[in-house]
């Protein structure tokens, strides 16, 4: 087959979906959470760090809107901001960010501890900021394609709803509302994001570019968990012993 010929829409979509093999559902930290092997402290650390992703999503989406001259696209895309920030309508009073704070409280964090972001690790901040900056500097179509990790998100949200209550009975049930709401929001976002991506990336070179963008975004999510693993799991480093984040160089004398 001609290496420069565009893939059909179906073949292109299949390649995008195949990158699900690199989704953070396969990261050791995520696997540990899924199997019920996390301590309360590790779950709390994950929720507190992921808060930074949650509050950054609407900023990222506002960056996409600011680069998009197409009124129809903006009208759809703005819904994502309202999903997270809230619009006061029924079931969406505080939006996803408020629901995430409630999840934090359900796992034993204080609201102030979450919103102060003082538990957010540098590596998590850098990874999330890379995503925001990508959206600021790219075309709106490229930035839209970078949201397509959401293709794989309903599976991960559903698995938390299915397994966490048995594994972590100490988590208050109201905390799960965030995952439940994403089960309907994410598939709707994906239909829209896929439509834009399949229409815009219509040459082989552009399709390859879209795959590269999706890999970048998968790396953002993976790097966040790498940072959390280093800081909150018992990672031993030869010659250093247990890794302690931000502890500086070991005293070797």
Residues that bind ligand PQQ (CB under 6 A): 57, 147, 149-150, 153, 156, 182, 221
Q: Taking the complex as a whole, how short is the minimal distance between the CB of residue 149 and ligand PQQ, in angstroms?
A: 3
Least distance between ligand PQQ and beta carbon 221 (Å):
6
Minimum distance from CB of 148 to ligand PQQ (Å)?
8
Contact 237, 243 (CB under 8 A): yes
**Contact call for residues 7 and 136 (beta carbons, < 8 A):** no
**50 close to 24: Cβ distance less than 8 angstroms:** no
**Nearby residues of 104 by Cβ (< 8 Å), 6 or more positions away:** 44, 47, 48, 51, 111, 113, 114, 175
152, 221 Cβ separation under 8 angstroms: no
The three-point CA angle 239-240-243 to 5° equals 145
150 vs 207 by CB, closer to ligand PQQ: 150
**49 vs 147 by CB, closer to ligand PQQ:** 147
Number of other residues whose CB lies within 10 A of the CB of residue 150: 18
- Minimum Å distance from CB 68 to ligand PQQ? 14
Between the alpha carbon of residue 121 and those of residues 34, 41, 124, 237, the distances in Å are 22, 14, 5, 19
Taking the complex as a whole, how short is the minimal distance between the CB of residue 134 and ligand PQQ, in angstroms?
Answer: 11
Quick one: 54 or 207, whose CB is closer to ligand PQQ?
54
Q: Please, are residues 140 and 73 in contact by the beta-carbon 8 Å criterion?
A: yes
DSSP, collapsed to helix, strand or coil, labels residue 202 as coil
Beta strands in the chain (DSSP E): 236-237, 241-242
Residue number, 216 or 243, with CB nearest to ligand PQQ: 216
Q: Quote the least distance from Cβ 147 to ligand PQQ, whole Å.
A: 4
Residues 6+ apart with CB under 8 A from 57: 80, 84, 96
| Residue nearer to ligand PQQ on the CB measure, 85 or 150 | 150
Burial of 39 (0-12, 13-18, 19+ CB in 10 A): exposed
Residue 150 per-residue DSSP state: G
CB of 114 to ligand PQQ, least distance (A): 15
Whichever of 35 and 242 has its CB closer to ligand PQQ, that residue is 35
Measured from the CB atom, the residue of 91 and 239 that comes closer to ligand PQQ is: 91
């Amino acid at each position: 087959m001609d290496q420069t010929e565009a893939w059909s829409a179906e073949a292109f979509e299949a390649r995008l979906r195949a990158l699900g093999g690199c989704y953070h559902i396969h990261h050791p930290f995520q696997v540990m959470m899924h199997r019920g092997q996390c301590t309360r402290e590790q779950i709390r650390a994950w929720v507190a760090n992921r808060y930074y992703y949650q509050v950054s999503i609407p900023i990222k989406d506002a960056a996409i809107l600011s680069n998009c001259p197409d009124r129809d696209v903006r009208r759809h895309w703005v819904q994502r901001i309202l999903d997270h920030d809230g619009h006061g309508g029924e079931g969406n009073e505080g939006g996803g960010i408020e629901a995430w704070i409630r999840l934090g409280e359900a796992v034993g964090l204080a609201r102030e501890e979450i919103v102060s972001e003082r538990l957010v690790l540098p590596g998590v901040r850098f990874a999330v900021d890379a995503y925001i900056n990508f959206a600021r500097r790219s075309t709106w179509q490229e930035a839209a394609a970078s949201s397509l990790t959401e293709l794989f998100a309903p599976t991960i949200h559903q698995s938390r709803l299915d397994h966490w209550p048995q594994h972590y009975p100490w988590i208050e049930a109201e905390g799960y509302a965030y995952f439940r709401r994403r089960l309907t929001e994410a598939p709707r976002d994906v239909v829209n994001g896929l439509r834009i991506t399949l229409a815009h990336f219509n040459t082989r070179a552009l399709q390859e570019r879209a795959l590269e963008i999706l890999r970048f975004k998968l790396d953002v999510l993976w790097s966040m968990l790498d940072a959390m693993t280093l800081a909150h799991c018992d990672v031993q480093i030869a010659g250093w012993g247990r890794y302690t984040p931000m502890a500086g160089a070991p005293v070797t004398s």
